[in-house]
Amino acid sequence: DAKTTQPTSMDCAEGRAANLPCNHSTISGNEYVYWYRQIHSQGPQYIIHGLKNNETNEMASLIITEDRKSSTLILPHATLRDTAVYYCIVRNFGNEKLTFGTGTRLTIIP
């Protein structure tokens, strides 16, 4: 599976949109982009995934560039409960394994 690169940490003001970038320049055509987050001392929580098109659900939006070499997770109105480590993972269709990198520690500031 392709490797991802994320900033180590980010801060965002409460109520603003949090934009978390991820680089995956070696992604191949059948690899999906997944986002999970882990709130302190809990198991990871699935957020969203996509292949080519932008995706939106009740939690977030995922914007994937046309060349698929990078993506951005958008939390539209960040709350204090969104403080967590966010993991961007690229995974091959049919490969069950998830390989976690170091992620981005997002801190929402009141």
How many positions of this chain bind another protein (CB under 8 A)?
Answer: 23
Q: Where are the beta strands (DSSP E) in 14-103?
A: 18-23, 31-38, 45-50, 55-56, 61-64, 70-75, 84-92
72-91 residues in contact with another protein (CB under 8 A) are 87, 91
- Residue 7 or 14 having the CB closest to another protein: 7
Based on the shown chain and the rule CB under 8 A, indicate whether residue 110 belongs to the binding site for another protein.
no
Question: Least separation, in Å, of the C-beta of 82 and another protein?
Answer: 18
Based on the shown chain and the rule CB under 8 A, indicate whether residue 29 belongs to the binding site for another protein.
no
List the 31-38 sheet strands across, edge first.
9-13, 104-109, 84-92, 31-38, 45-50
Residues forming contacts to another protein in the complex (CB under 8 A) are 32, 36, 38, 41-46, 49, 87, 91, 93-103
